[in-house]
Amino acid sequence: MLKNIDPALNADVLHALRSMGHGDTLVISDTNFPSDAIARKTTLGTLLRIDNVSAARAVEAVLSVLPLDTPLQPSAGRMEVMGAPDEVLPVQQEVQAVIDRTEGKSAPMYGIERFKFYEEAKKAYCVITTGETRFYGCFLFTKGVIPPKT
């Protein structure tokens, strides 16, 4: 265990998050997402895992150390429900609550059509799969910056 590091974050995930640069994206996926196949096409090239937790719990762990990009560009996306793109499912509402709490303000996610999400995921730095079993528990995050201390 490390002080002030969420215990859900394993060494591989921490290394990937630290290695990412400003503007890099990462996917946090549910158990139904083709995580391994997509992960092979990412920059990292291998699948990362935060097993046995919900998507919201994994997002909470990741956002405890990862800054989101500024509001000047969307920094948190969710896979849209097919046939109902404006519907926000409970799993997505839970993740939205984590984002808002972490950011200290409302930071609405944008929707990404399912097949467009797959294409964007292939361009990501990495994919982290979770134990989330609910449908549409797939999210895309853009890394921001930590400003210098003045």
| Model pTM score | 0.96
Q: Check residue 93 and give its pLDDT.
A: 98
Pairwise CA distance, residues 13 & 127, whole Å: 10
For residue 130, list its beta bridge partners: 50
Q: Check residue 70 and give its pLDDT.
A: 81
Known catalytic residues? Answer: 22, 69, 118
Residue 95 confidence (pLDDT) above 80: yes
Neighbours of 92 (CB within 10 A): 23
Neighbours of 83 (CB within 10 A): 7
Pairwise CA distance, residues 131 & 106, whole Å: 26
